[in-house]
Structure 1
Amino acid sequence: MAEPEGLRHAAIAWLEQRTFDRQIPLSRDEIADFEWNGQPFRLIPSQQGIWKPRGFEATLSIVTTYRSPGQKRPYEDEVGTDGLIRYKWRGDDPHHPENVGLRRAMQLRKPIIWFIGIGGKPPEYQVVAPVYLVREEPEQQQFVMAPLAEEDFAVEEFDEGFAVPALKRYLMRETKVRLHQPVFRSTVLMAYENHCAVCNLAHPELLDAAHIVDDSHEMGTPTIGNGMALCKIHHAAFDRRFLGLRPTLERPIVEIRQDLLDEVDGPMLRHGLQDLHGKPLMMLPKARANRPDHDKLVWAYDRFRTATAADVA
């Protein structure tokens, strides 16, 4: 059959709703719930990384497989200086059917669904959609992708104008918002089993993936070693240096700023912050490779102590 009119847009809209606007990952079984005209329709390949359903002229979806901590994740270090993402060919033959399908998606300006593995048993995938192929780099055997909403995509801008500084900044910002932040959140929350590291709250809707080192800092990479699952109150307290984490060999120790310890207020302050002072984190990932990077904890703790000293003074 030929590609049904409207299927791509319906699938992307369904995935956006199903993931609560990219807030949660999906398993293969959950992705398989998609239907078209009352019938199940596969959106993700069973094995290979590039999926072009039978009869389709252009690729519908691509998959980046999960890499465990310590291994290079495929989505890292593939954002060029132009703010765009690189996706490798299948093999080295430009005429391989899967590469042809990607090329036709580029030529026809078709939106593509990107499933990024974040681990788990069964495996789960962060959905990034739509993405558009905007250019091919045959010498590097790769395509160039932009994670843009359809209303923002104008292919003419990407011919020679992609290096314009304003466009470059925009693309980098969109890549961060549409790619790195959702993948970072899902990966960190999965490692912490959807529990707040500080108080053990187990409602993912109330949890954030917090950066230990600010993402504006050169150390503030969107990697699991720079992340912790924190409830919204403890995330805000950590970012604003009301709450610090003293690094230890085992579990970091929670410290609350002295002026908050001296303050008298209601039960939220007492139970939510003051009573946690001096206690170890309640939740850490089981895999040591997923735990906070010690050097980043030291950086954040020094920042917290500076704030504390200034406040006391």
Structure 2
Amino acid sequence: MARTWAAARELKLRQTAIDWLKFRTDDGAVPLTRDEILDFKFEGDSFRLQPTQQGIRKPAVFDAALSIQTVYRPPGKERPYDDTVGADGLIRYMWRGDDPALAENRALRRAMELELPLIWFIGVGMKPALFQAVCPVYIIEEEPELQRFVIAPMDEEAFVRRPTDGDTVLQATIKRYMSRETKVRLHQPVFRSTVLRAYEDRCAVCNLGHRELLDAAHIIPDSHDLGIASVVNGMALCKIHHAAFDSFLMGIRPDHVVQIRPDLLEEVDGPMLQHGLKELHGKPLMKLPSARGERPKRELLDMAYGRFLAGTAA
């Protein structure tokens, strides 16, 4: 390929790649392996979208970075770079190293200046490595004193650079919008893929194995303190057991035993209640992650079970 590309052609490749990833992942719902991501072609030629060892990919023929990557680490294992959630709900992506003039950092800064869409590959599992493709994302700000960029995932027609001069009602509205988009387009799909992969696409309570009928349920309400994809704060639950758990019809003890609200145990209301809930009372969970480090955190289950007991006593 030629060393110099027209800006329009570079943008066309970005948009083609984003459309292709959305199609391959069912609009971000399904993670991909590295080999699956390598299937991408542009104008008949293979074109690598994903960084390899580096966290930032800028093709030599591009004016700015094309994609970024965050590797998966099991709970308790530190990532090479500490990407965090700010108080405004937006993601911070760390520079590579501490030199602002490093080529990869300049490539990201250029993408910010040109307001170009990027692809973010977020690791959600290993053996094989699985990545959630979140796209498009935009760099809307740099925080050089903290050596990081501010990232917001949103579609091109919704993209707006975050205002930084003052705190008007409009600016506050834009910040809330971007924070909401970050949760919907990044946190939720990454959390879902991480949890369902850990539970091998099975409901923890009944072992149902149809992914389309499964949710990634939070044990306690989502918290930035636990990270973007905190598998230890999640369980794979089918939709009926997710609803029962969230509405305190069903609790799960810290020792992984299912409890059904006492008044339901006395109720007679057909086979769904009988077999779907009542018969599970006192039974252990049927599915847990094989990796102990990915199993529900005991203190989180304890908190959730306390809320369940408070609800049954009301």
Deviation at 1:283, TM superposition (A): 0.7
Deviation at 1:44, TM superposition (A): 0.5
Q: Corresponding residue for 1:185?
A: 192
Q: Corresponding residue for 1:198?
A: 205
- 1:37-116, aligned counterparts within 5 Å? 37-72=43-78, 78-116=84-122
Contact 1:106/1:134 (CA < 8 Å) preserved in 2?
yes
Which segment is superposed worse, 128-137 or 192-201?
Answer: 128-137
Contact 2:83/2:93 (CA < 8 Å) preserved in 1?
no
Deviation at 1:161, TM superposition (A): 5.4
1:271 pairs with 275, 279, 302, which one?
Answer: 275
TM-score (norm 2): 0.90
Distance between the aligned counterparts of 1:258 and 1:78, measured in 2?
42
Distance between the aligned counterparts of 2:82 and 2:197, measured in 1?
18
Deviation at 1:26, TM superposition (A): 0.8
Which residue identity does 2:165 align to in structure 1? E
CA displacement 1:151-197 (0-9 Å, x = unmatched): 11122x43425783322222222221122111111111111111110
Which residue identity does 1:245 align to in structure 2? I
Q: Corresponding residue for 2:239?
A: 232
Distance between the aligned counterparts of 2:184 and 2:78, measured in 1?
21
Q: Corresponding residue for 1:301?
A: 305
- 1:125-204, aligned counterparts within 5 Å? 125-155=131-161, 157-160=162-165, 164-204=171-211
Contact 2:201/2:214 (CA < 8 Å) preserved in 1?
yes
Structure 2: which 5+ residue stretches go unaligned? none
Aligned partner of residue 118 in structure 1, secondary structure = strand
Aligned partner of residue 85 in structure 2, secondary structure = coil
Aligned partner of residue 20 in structure 2, secondary structure = helix
Which segment is superposed worse, 112-121 or 45-54?
Answer: 45-54
Distance between the aligned counterparts of 2:282 and 2:89, measured in 1?
43
Deviation at 1:114, TM superposition (A): 0.4
Distance between the aligned counterparts of 1:228 and 1:75, measured in 2?
26
Distance between the aligned counterparts of 2:31 and 2:81, measured in 1?
16
Q: Corresponding residue for 1:282?
A: 286
Distance between the aligned counterparts of 1:257 and 1:159, measured in 2?
50
Distance between the aligned counterparts of 1:127 and 1:273, measured in 2?
36
Distance between the aligned counterparts of 2:12 and 2:100, measured in 1?
29
Aligned partner of residue 141 in structure 2, secondary structure = strand
Deviation at 1:85, TM superposition (A): 2.0
Which segment is superposed worse, 130-139 or 75-84?
Answer: 75-84
Which residue identity does 1:142 align to in structure 2? R
Contact 1:52/1:60 (CA < 8 Å) preserved in 2?
yes
Deviation at 1:217, TM superposition (A): 10
Aligned partner of residue 143 in structure 1, secondary structure = strand
Which segment is superposed worse, 40-49 or 157-166?
Answer: 157-166
Structure 1: which 5+ residue stretches go unaligned? none
Contact 2:81/2:94 (CA < 8 Å) preserved in 1?
no
Contact 1:185/1:209 (CA < 8 Å) preserved in 2?
yes
1:292 pairs with 268, 292, 296, which one?
Answer: 296
Q: Corresponding residue for 1:124?
A: 130
Contact 2:194/2:229 (CA < 8 Å) preserved in 1?
no
1:27 pairs with 14, 33, 42, which one?
Answer: 33
Aligned partner of residue 101 in structure 1, secondary structure = helix
Change in 2 beyond 3 A, CA 1:217/1:131: closer
Deviation at 1:220, TM superposition (A): 10
Distance between the aligned counterparts of 2:249 and 2:61, measured in 1?
58
Contact 2:72/2:79 (CA < 8 Å) preserved in 1?
yes
Distance between the aligned counterparts of 1:13 and 1:284, measured in 2?
35
Distance between the aligned counterparts of 1:10 and 1:162, measured in 2?
37
Deviation at 1:57, TM superposition (A): 0.7
Distance between the aligned counterparts of 1:184 and 1:75, measured in 2?
19
Aligned partner of residue 171 in structure 1, secondary structure = helix
Distance between the aligned counterparts of 1:241 and 1:220, measured in 2?
25
How many percent of aligned residue pairs carry the same amino acid?
61
Change in 2 beyond 3 A, CA 1:182/1:10: same
Which segment is superposed worse, 192-201 or 71-80?
Answer: 71-80
Deviation at 1:281, TM superposition (A): 0.3
Contact 1:245/1:253 (CA < 8 Å) preserved in 2?
yes
Q: Corresponding residue for 2:15?
A: 9
